Amino acid sequence: MNFNINHHVKVKLTNYGISVWAEHYNKYSTKPLTTESILKLKDKEDENGYTDFQMHDLMSVFGDKISMGGKLCFDTNIILLPE
């Protein structure tokens, strides 16, 4: 099976993951997130609690926070979406 890192995946973010996502956003944005806009990030979840990312974006946002035995940014099961 081939998988291009531009393809989309779905993950179930943890509360820690949402805070990491907000921190990442604020690092590169000229307008920091407010509590309301952080809740809008959470609203991107589908009806099953999954959030859609391109794989390269998922790696960019969470990559340096993922380690063996570290806090989980998202559930360890990832859904690979078809092209």
For the stretch 9-50, pLDDT in tens is 999 999 999 989 988 888 888 887 777 777 777 778 999 999
CA atoms 61, 67, 72, 78: torsion sign: positive
Nearest to 4 by CA among 61, 83, 72, 57: 83
| Confidence band, pLDDT 50/70/90 cuts, at residue 80 | very high
Predicted confidence at residue 5, as pLDDT, reads 94
Predicted confidence at residue 30, as pLDDT, reads 83
| Residue ranges covered by each domain of the chain | 8-80
Find the mean pLDDT for residues 51-58.
95
Predicted confidence at residue 2, as pLDDT, reads 84
Residue holding tokens 């990491």? 20
